[in-house]
Structure 1
Amino acid sequence: MFVVILALLIIWPIAELFVMVQVADWIGFFWMLFLLFASSVAGMMILKHRGRAHWRRFRGAVDERRPPAKEAFDGIMITVGALLLIIPGFITSVIGLFLLFPPTRWLIRLVALTLFASKFKVAATTASWGNRGYGYYRGSRQPDYDIDGDAVDVTDRTDGEPLPQLRSGPESSEDQVDRNP
């Protein structure tokens, strides 16, 4: 794996330079620079706007209590595609454009699912931690009643010693022990 990454780090820039020289020879040096600059600006704009839109879709899926796998995958593909557009180079820009188009994202998602679905277990859970406590969400109904109960003092143990007394109210204020670490 290390050899493959090292080869990519050496071969990729050489391939990008070769394509840049060919494009500059075909349309001119300044037009080539303009295309690279326009690609970078487009990548930044896509990253800003589409990234926010996919984050809203992701949060919407979580709020609807369904697994946000499609939204997460699309968000990652759009982010990677926009970053590849920002990097100067025509090969990276073409790969970035493939990652940005929905039909090619669908195809990449299908290939990724078939390759990796058998290797991972899928689990999803949702929880909320707000000022209303664990398990509260906007659609839940809170009960409008209190549950009353009685406490029973049990003093018998199997070894013969009494259990510690638990008291509440003003009479136990002198017995309180600071239990905070």
Structure 2
Amino acid sequence: MVIRGKWLWAAIFIVPAVELFGFLLVSEHIGVSKALLLLLATSVIGLVMMRFEGKKVLQDSKALLEAGQPPGRTMLDGLCVFMGGMMLILPGFVTDLIGFTLLFPLTRPVYRFWMMKWIQRKMKNGTFTYYRK
């Protein structure tokens, strides 16, 4: 538990510092007003993409359930879409880049692969539990 707390505190301080550095770099090249407008535009585009991709993931999950198959991969896609949307809501260019790669269907399998490896490792160690109704 202590290790997780240390990572959380590091993220609270490191992520804003990286985002501030990224904003200063971008605003130095294109100007502050254009950089702010770009941040706003990426948030709006990200929210629209999140809604579109989220609906697609829900439709795929529903189709798999109706066919009697477990929607495992599509559930991980849904988690990626949700996390990507949250990253796009946060102001900053680095989180926007990560958010767009989580939302974009061609790059999402990379995240899904690492999430699956993490889940398998947690289940093998016995530190990941799931409950059935």
Q: Give the TM-score category using the shorter length.
A: 0.7 to 0.9
Paired residue total: 125
Q: 1:2 to 1:114 in 2, by over 3 A?
A: same
Q: 1:28 to 1:94 in 2, by over 3 A?
A: same
Q: Equivalent residue for 2:14?
A: 11
Q: How far does the alpha carbon of each residue in 1:34-79 deviate from its partner, in whole angstroms, 9 at most, with x for none?
A: 1101011012212222212211111111111101011111111012
Give structure 1 stretches of 5+ with no counterpart.
Answer: 126-181
1:76 partnered with 2:79: yes
Q: Report the TM-score when normalising by structure 1.
A: 0.62
Q: Equivalent residue for 1:153?
A: none
Supply the AA of the counterpart residue of 1:56. Q
Q: Equivalent residue for 1:171?
A: none
- Which protein has the larger Cα radius of gyration, Structure 1 or Structure 2? 1
Cα RMSD (Å) of the superposition? 2.2
Q: 1:117 to 1:105 in 2, by over 3 A?
A: same
Tell which has more relative contact order, 1 or 2 (C-alpha 8 A, sep 6+).
2
- Runs of 4+ in structure 1 over 6 Å off: none
Q: Equivalent residue for 2:91?
A: 88
Larger deviation, residues 75-84 vs 107-116? 107-116
Flag the structure with higher helix content: 2
CA contact (8 A) 2:19 2:94 kept: yes
Q: Structure 2: how far apart are the matches of 1:77 and 1:102?
A: 10
Q: Structure 1: how far apart are the matches of 2:97 and 2:110?
A: 16
Q: Equivalent residue for 1:33?
A: 36
CA contact (8 A) 1:47 1:83 kept: no
Q: Structure 2: how far apart are the matches of 1:43 and 1:4?
A: 27
Q: Report the TM-score when normalising by structure 2.
A: 0.83
Give structure 2 stretches of 5+ with no counterpart.
Answer: none
Deviation, structure 1 residue 111: 2.3
What is the percentage of aligned positions where both structures have the same residue? 31
CA contact (8 A) 1:24 1:32 kept: yes
CA contact (8 A) 1:61 1:67 kept: yes
What is the 5 A alignment of 1:24-173? 24-120=27-123
Larger deviation, residues 100-109 vs 20-29? 100-109
